[in-house]
């Protein structure tokens, strides 16, 4: 079955600690994204990557870091610089529409099940 | 800068009634998504709208796109309790990289 997996489902962070959230996809998608969702709010883009070894900051990148060493994997590290990390983190992937020249495709972003991060 | 707004943000409706959720966006785009999120869960794709005048229907939900007005609507027909969820619209930027989400509409269907 193709899809996106995220782990762990719940993660607890102590103050001053860096933690890493895993995101893996087997959909052969080039583009991957990390979003943060606070209670009762919409999704805000943290980082995105459209090709291996390259990634771009989203709207709220401060206090986070990512890597994209493999096409299937896009881990997110929440660093100690992120002072308010408690949130629901969602990873997504999609076809890179730049490569299709923007040709309309019935494609969407596919989301993983999410990781809930809590601070101890 | 692309901004996406939805209204209403909260909607409580009786079973059997009809209602419309509105999604406005600030800059040109010809691609809009609607997603559903159940409490504590991830997002499920409902519709992808690709061009002006596009209309998609699935069960009691129908979505439309007016790119000239920068407006999409999600119409609910004869609501049932199972439709209770938060509905998000999301708009793709013209450089095909980022997708910006609206704040979501929390729908509660009351028996």
Q: Write out pLDDT tens, residues A70-106.
A: 999 999 999 998 889 999 999 999 887 665 565 556 5
Strand partners, B72: B23, B65
Which residue in A has a C-alpha nearest to residue B104's C-alpha? A42
pLDDT at residue B50, as a whole number: 84
Quick one: closest CA in B to A30, which residue? B97
Percent of chain B clearing pLDDT 90 (strictly above): 77
Cβ contact, residue pair B106, A98, below 8 Å? no
pLDDT at B19 over 90: yes
User: Which chain A residues have a beta carbon less than 8 Å from that of B45?
Assistant: 108-110
pLDDT at residue A35 in the model: 96
pLDDT-based confidence at A2, cuts 50/70/90? low
Confidence of residue B96 (pLDDT cuts 50, 70, 90): low
Q: Computed from CA positions of residues B59, B65, B66, B72, in that sequence, does the dihedral angle turn out positive or negative?
A: positive
A101 Cβ contact list (under 8 Å, min separation 6):
none
Q: Cβ separation of B48 and A110 shorter than 8 Å?
A: no
Give CA A93 to chain center in angstroms. 9
What percent of chain B stands above pLDDT 70? Answer: 96
Interval B39-76: pLDDT, tens: 989 999 999 998 888 899 999 999 999 999 999 999 99
Distance CA B43, CA B87 (A): 9
Residue B85 has pLDDT above 70, yes or no: yes
The whole-number pLDDT of residue A105 equals 60
Query: How many Å apart are CA A96 and CA A32, to the nearest integer?
Result: 9
Give the model confidence (pLDDT) of A51-76 as tens digits: 999 999 998 999 999 999 999 999 99
Identify the pLDDT of residue A22. Answer: 98
What is the model's pLDDT at position B86?
Answer: 96
The predicted structure's pLDDT at residue B64: 96
Mean pLDDT of the region A12-32: 93
Does the beta-carbon distance from A98 to B97 stay under 8 Å?
yes
Contacts of A21 (CB under 8 A, 6+ apart): A6, A7, A8, A11, A75, A76, A77, A78, A89, A91, A115, A117
* Cβ–Cβ below 8 Å for B99 and A97: no
Q: Which residues of A touch B56 (CB under 8 A)?
A: none
């Amino acid at each position: 079955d193709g899809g996106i997996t995220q782990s762990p489902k719940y993660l607890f962070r102590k103050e001053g600690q860096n933690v890493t959230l895993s995101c893996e996809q087997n959909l052969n998608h080039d583009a991957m994204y990390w979003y943060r969702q606070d209670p009762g709010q919409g999704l805000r883009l943290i980082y995105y990557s459209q090709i291996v070894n390259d990634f771009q900051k989203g709207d709220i990148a401060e206090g986070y870091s990512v890597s994209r060493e493999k096409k299937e994997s896009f881990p997110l590290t929440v660093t100690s610089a992120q002072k308010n990390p408690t949130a629901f983190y969602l990873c997504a992937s999609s076809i890179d529409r730049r490569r299709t020249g923007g040709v309309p495709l019935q494609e969407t972003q596919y989301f993983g099940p999410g990781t809930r991060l809590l601070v101890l | 800068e692309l901004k996406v707004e939805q209204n209403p943000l909260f909607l409580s409706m009786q079973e059997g009634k009809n209602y419309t959720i509105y999604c406005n966006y600030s800059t040109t785009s010809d691609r809009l998504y609607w997603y559903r999120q159940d409490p504590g869960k991830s997002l499920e794709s409902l519709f992808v709208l690709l061009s002006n005048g596009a209309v998609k229907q699935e069960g009691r939900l129908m979505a439309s796109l007016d790119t000239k007005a920068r407006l999409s609507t999600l119409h609910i027909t004869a609501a049932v309790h199972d439709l209770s969820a938060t509905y998000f619209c999301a708009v793709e930027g013209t450089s095909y990289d980022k997708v910006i989400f609206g704040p979501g509409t929390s729908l509660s269907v009351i028996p």
